[in-house]
Amino acid sequence: MSNVPADLRFMKSHEWARLEADGTITIGISDHAQQALGDLVFVEAPEPGRRVNAGEACAVVESVKAASDVYSPVSGEVVAANADLGGQPELINQDPYGAGWIMRVRPDDKAQFASMLDAAAYSAALAAETH
Amino acid sequence: MPFIPHTDSDVRAMLDAIGAPDTDALFEEIPANLRAPGLPGIPVAMNEMEVGRLLMGLAARDGRPLNFIGAGAYEHHIPAAVWSIVTRGEFYSAYTPYQAEASQGTLQLLYEYQTMMASLTGLDISNASLYDGASGLAEACLMAVRANRKSKSQRILLPVALNPTYRDVAQVIAGNQNLAFELLPYDAKSGQTLVAALEKYTGQDITAVVLQQPNFFGTLEDVDAVTDWAHANNALMIGVVNPTSLAVLKPPGQWGQLGADIAVGDGQPLGVPLSSGGPYFGFMATRTEHVRQMPGRIIGRTLDLDGKPGFSLTLQAREQHIRRSKATSNICTNQGLLVTAATIYMSLLGPHGLAQVAATSMQRTQQLVDALTRIPGVRLAFDAPRFHEAVLLLDRPVAPVLEALARRGVIGGVDISARYPSLGHALLTCATETRTLADIDTYARALGEALRNAAAAA
């Protein structure tokens, strides 16, 4: 059973998001997603300063099995990317909700964050997916 | 590894297993009006003996002319051992293996090929080949768009002195993916791409700059200046190179201060016969930092569970069987058979032998130019240093002169007047190490006579 922290929001495509005190949103992939992908070997994060739209593919996580897109849950500007993943993509496997964060976006409209799935809804979506 | 098609009983057993009456039933979802009713214009099947006779007859019509055409494909001596080894059953499949790791010998050969090409281009890593040089350039342009994350424009600068066929193919393949190509002119006196023409793009968003070395005219370009301009303007540098020339010229990995980012070209000069235009193969090499954006197959060396060395496909997650529509390419394959020939060719010649081929070809072309430009009505178009090809300007239209030469058994070169009208009556000609001084003399006498006859008839 994968870990779904109660204080985060999620997308059906298995991204998580956290609203930071400074108004930015930190984005990564869920514990379920990292388990499904297996050992990650490469992460391509977006360049800070890039404009992204909600639902736009803006990062790629590559495991030995597949290369998958990571979608932004909100429209806005990328303000940071996790540089540690360049040398240590396995941080996503080890700590998907902490040291394995992928990027930080300053949202144009925080309502897009509020409309994401909460932990209970994401857990229900995961349960439905496995049945 | 045997590649044996299914027998009738295999097919019957498979159809029975899925409950289909015959193979036609498998295509029922394609509407009848979209199906080809057969192949009109294709003659009835012939047996091996009949086909052999037909093809020998067609080949005999070519005769054995003396060939002075280059323009992208070059007649070099191929040691007899090359194709005797290539046609061994163990190697004789034109295609990339599907159960790749079961074919360790094939993978080892491809790995050796990649190592040789990386060494020849001076770059970190080579893929296992592409279709040909022209589609390789299109792939390099698409790769540059993915790899250059500082650029959003998808604008790529192409020299007019680039092989025009490559320009056409790049436009067809990449132009439909919203890449915009802009042309860099060449200097009318030297035949080199004008470095000064880059100035108007300084400070603009340019994704990549392409330079061919030697260029289509055989002229050597100022690769250092163009590469440094590209990097100073956040553009990637793509080098289109002749692999033979790399034995004597500075490899793309050493162009300018940082080196080119991607090198592509046609591998035909490395042991592949002209064969009336193909099949050939393309090569591509790049720096490690761009490897995940490189299309095509890459073979890696690894250790198995028992610690023994072995070879496997690597970085496959970028490829079309896994990444589908978002793969690095959906139009590429490798050219296993031709790469096998190239690998054996390079291993038989070695770096010194390849350098001798290059140096002798340069010398023969110089001798050809000297002999032909002594003829009244023939002069050299460009004065910059060249490799093994040159543009000559005639005092009258080129096509009838080439026809007159052909009647004397000499294929004199390519009439490039239509592609480069500002040059006038322009003939692109080439001599490799396979042309002797006697061959050059034959050409010179035939050309002198053809021009005298044409002048007399006029």
DSSP B313-326: EESGGGSHHHHGGG
DSSP secondary structure of B11-49: HHHHHHHHT-SSGGGGGTTS-GGGS--S-TTPPPP--HH
What is residue B94's predicted lDDT score, i.e. its pLDDT? 53
User: Across the A/B interface, how many CB contacts are shorter than 8 Å?
Assistant: 21
Q: Which residues of chain A have pLDDT under 70?
A: 1, 131
In A, minimum Cα distance to B149 occurs at A47
Pairwise CB contact (< 8 Å): A67 & B150:
no
- Residues contacting residue B187 through CB under 8 Å, at least 6 positions apart: B193, B194
Burial of B377 (0-12, 13-18, 19+ CB in 10 A): middle
How far, CA to CA in Å, does A131 sit from each of A11, A124, A127, B200? 19, 11, 6, 61
Name which of B331, B336, B330 is nearest B313 in CA terms.
Answer: B336
Residue type, A100: G
CA contacts within 13 A on the Cβ side of B292: 18
Phi/psi at B146 (5° precision): -70, -40
Kindly give the confidence (pLDDT) of every residue in chain B, 458 residues in length, as a single tens digit, with 9 standing for 90 and above: 345 678 889 999 999 999 999 988 999 899 988 888 888 888 888 999 999 999 999 989 988 899 999 999 999 999 999 999 999 888 886 566 667 788 888 899 999 999 999 999 999 999 999 999 999 999 999 999 999 988 999 999 999 999 999 999 999 999 889 999 999 999 999 999 999 999 999 999 999 999 999 999 999 999 999 999 999 999 999 999 999 999 999 999 999 999 999 999 999 999 999 998 989 999 999 999 999 999 999 999 999 999 999 999 888 878 888 887 888 888 777 788 999 999 999 999 999 999 999 999 999 999 999 999 999 999 999 999 999 999 999 999 999 999 999 999 999 999 999 999 999 999 999 999 999 999 999 999 999 999 999 999 88
The torsion region of residue B178 among left (phi > 0), alpha (psi -120 to 50) and beta comes to left
Q: What number is the ipTM of this complex?
A: 0.77
Give the domains, in start order, of chain B with CATH numbers.
81-344 (3.40.640.10), 351-457 (3.90.1150.10)
Pairing assessment for the beta strands A76-81 and A51-52 based on DSSP bridges: antiparallel
Partners of residue A87 in chain B, C-beta under 8 Å = none
Tell me what pLDDT residue B38 has: 81
pLDDT in the model for residue B4: 63
CATH topology of domain A13-108: OB fold (Dihydrolipoamide Acetyltransferase, E2P) (2.40.50)
Give every CB contact of residue B150 below 8 A, 6+ residues apart in sequence. A47, B234
Q: Which of B288, B290, B292, B312 to mutate to test the interface with A (most CBs of A within 10 A)?
A: B292
The pLDDT assigned to B1 comes to 39
Whether A65 sits inside 8 A of B292 (CB atoms) is: no
Q: In this complex, do A67 and B326 lie within 8 Å of one another by their Cβ atoms? A: yes
Question: A72 CB near a chain B CB, below 8 Å?
Answer: no
Residue B149 contacts A where some CB pair is shorter than 8 Å: yes
pLDDT of residue B335: 86
Full-model pTM: 0.88
The domain limits of chain A are 13-108
Say if the Cβ atoms of B322 and A67 lie within 8 Å: yes
